[in-house]
A and B are shown apart, each in its own frame.
Chain A
Amino acid sequence: MRRLGRWVVAAVVLLLGRGQRPRELPPPEPVVGGAAPAPKAELLVIGLLILSAAFAVAFVVVYAGGADTQLLGLALGLCFALLAVASVVTAFRLAPPEEAEEPYPEPSHPTEIAEVEQIVVESGRHLTRGKLLGLAAGGAGTALGLALLAPVASLGPVFDTSRLRREPWRRGVRLVDAEGRVLRAEDIELDTLHTAFPEGADPENLASPIVVVRLEPVRLDLPPDRSNWAPAGILAYSKICTHAGCAVSLYRAPHYEPTRPRPALVCPCHYSTFDPATGGTVIFGPAGRPLPQLPLAVGPEGELIALGGFSGAVGPSWSGVRE
């Protein structure tokens, strides 16, 4: 009898329970806002991505072929452009439009600040010579730091700036052009511009390059101690501007003087203008001192030779320059 009852209960439970699913967890609160589906936008993005991939392939094809720079740039650039458009379409059409908010972080954490101070203070509470210890540690740290910095001085001859004064020009050195041919006085005509170097010296030394020009001797107005520096009106000046080290590579050589400014050596960087007739004085521009002049003489075979070093320091000014 009890057995029959159990079968009846089982049958009733099965009958009542048929078709019902097991209970699920309640769904989580949505974090991300909802959005209407946008199938057209999705298709657009997919299309753009496929097109972008095609341009990436095109890039590789062009690369393997002639690798023309313009075509390569176009292919890769358009690949990125399509990716950019796809991203923007995703941003505006596929991502749900949301306005989220959150609090700014606490501007300050007074409890923790106090605790940090407390920890540091408590750690040193038992010290009797705390200040002296601190001083010694600081001193040791500073000394070590400075010591470690010392090898930086090996980078250059910091304590030997006299190297900046070394010049390849001295009495008897011949002037040569860029090809190494000796300059002859008769080759320097009026209105011509020549670049010259000391024979046998490194042309990349700042003091090496000079400009050689010729003016009529009657037009010269050199300082009295340079009266014999310009044989037949031939003048030589350092080619390195005393302002900021560019090569003074312009020569203003007026063809017909009544309507034109007088002859001048001009630097193309900041337009410092030097007057060759008066010993390289600055007549315009930011240079702070004249262009150094090289004394010349004509050698026994008509070649141009230097009579000594420059009238002043070559190149941009520095503290060791004495004028």
Chain B
Amino acid sequence: MRRSVLVVALLALFLPKLGAAESGPNLYLQHCVSCHGRGGAGVPPGGKNFGPPLQGVGAQAADFYLTTGYMPLQEADQEPVRKSSPFSEDEIRSLVEYIGSFGGPRVPQPDPERGSAGEGLRLFTENCAGCHQVAAQGGLVVGGTAPSLADSTPTQIAEAVRVGPYLMPRFTTKQLDERQVDSIIRYVQVAQDPDDRGGWGLGHLGPIPEGLVAWLLAGGALVGVAVLIGARAP
């Protein structure tokens, strides 16, 4: 009797863990179906929850949105922001596999080592800097933001270029072939750890932080020197 109680207790302890390797379909039903519909059919706008269909987006898009934490979204009209995903890596993999089963491109396999940083800077400036800023610090669009690429992995960059998430345009293989995307990723990697041989990089944002330093640091120090040297009470 006691032994069977022990066995049941042990099972009760461990079974939930086994069950935690939840299947893609289960996770989808729990977290995604309210906006993206059964089988990724989408939910048309009209109610509180609605969202685009996921058929044909492929594992590529699913992996991008889930690893960046852009999805899941709390409100349907919220702007997605990069955050740590509420899902574990295994859960993401299951979800990606499941959504990939609806059809669409696979997760890309970029190789930045094959790319050239020089070509990458040129392509990034021509195609990406308008929104993401030439040093990949992110920027402003009327109606949204283009995020900084400081935390982007090579796979995420390759995915985003093809998916064109949120307000971003997408770039086909005819526009940017795989090697060119590798070069862009290589450049973004340089931008994530840039050559700051001039000293403190001030966030690589340009003249505004420089102006703040000129006023607050230099101006403050020099006014301080003046106060030290000159008299105070007239």
Contacts and interface: CB of A to CB of B under 8 A. Distances in A.
Given a CB threshold of 8 Å, the question of whether A touches B is answered with yes
Interface of A: 69-70, 73, 84, 88, 91, 178, 187, 189, 191-195, 213, 247-256, 258-261, 264, 266, 268, 271, 273, 284-285
B142 A273 contact: yes
A258 B45 CA distance: 7
Contact of B172 (A192, A213, A268): A192
Contacts of A191: 164, 169-170
B126 A195 contact: yes
Q: Is the interface of A mostly helix, strand, loop or mixed?
A: mixed
10 contacts: A189-B170, A192-B169, A192-B170, A251-B169, A252-B143, A254-B166, A256-B52, A261-B143, A268-B131, A268-B139
B142 A192 contact: no
Contacts of B131: 249-250, 268
Nearest to A284: B142
B172 A187 contact: yes
Contacts of A251: 130, 169
Contacts of B167: 252-255, 260
Contacts of A271: 140, 142
A187 B175 contact: yes
Which of A187, A268, A285 counts the most chain B CB atoms within 10 A?
A268
A249 B130 CA distance: 5
Given A192-B171, A258-B50, A273-B142, A249 B129 contact: yes
B76 interface: yes
Given A259-B45, A260-B143, A266-B142, 11 more contacts: A70-B199, A88-B228, A191-B170, A192-B175, A248-B130, A252-B167, A254-B166, A255-B166, A260-B167, A261-B143, A268-B130
B141 A266 contact: yes
Interface string B152-182: 0000000000011111111110110000000
B164 A253 contact: yes
A260 B166 contact: yes
Given A187-B174, A254-B167, A193 B127 contact: yes
B207 interface: no
Q: What are the 9 tightest A-B residue pairs by CB atom distance, in nearest-first order?
A: A249-B130, A253-B169, A259-B77, A261-B143, A193-B169, A258-B45, A256-B52, A187-B174, A250-B130
Contact of A189 (B45, B163, B172): B172
B17 interface: no
Contacts of A84: 225
Given A88-B228, A191-B164, A195-B126, A256 B51 contact: yes
Nearest to A187: B174
Which of B126, B130, B166, B225 counts the most chain A CB atoms within 10 A?
B130
Nearest to A248: B130
Which of A178, A249, A285 counts the most chain B CB atoms within 10 A?
A249
A271 to B, nearest CB: 5
A42 B127 CA distance: 64
Given A69-B199, A193-B127, A252 B77 contact: no
B18 interface: no
Interface in B50-74: 50-52
A266 to B, nearest CB: 5
A184 to B, nearest CB: 8
A253 B170 contact: yes
A273 B199 CA distance: 37
Nearest to A186: B174
A6 B229 CA distance: 70
Which of A213, A252, A264 counts the most chain B CB atoms within 10 A?
A252
Contacts of B126: 178, 195
Interface string B2-36: 00000000000000000000000000000000000
A40 B79 CA distance: 67
Contacts of A273: 142
A243 B90 CA distance: 51
Nearest to B133: A268
B201 interface: no
A187 to B, nearest CB: 5
Contacts of A194: 175
Interface string B67-107: 00000000011000000000000000000000000000000
Contacts of A264: 142-143
B219 interface: no
A321 to B, nearest CB: 24
B198 interface: yes
B144 interface: yes
A250 B131 CA distance: 6
Contacts of A285: 142
Contacts of A256: 51-52
A255 B52 contact: yes
B94 to A, nearest CB: 24
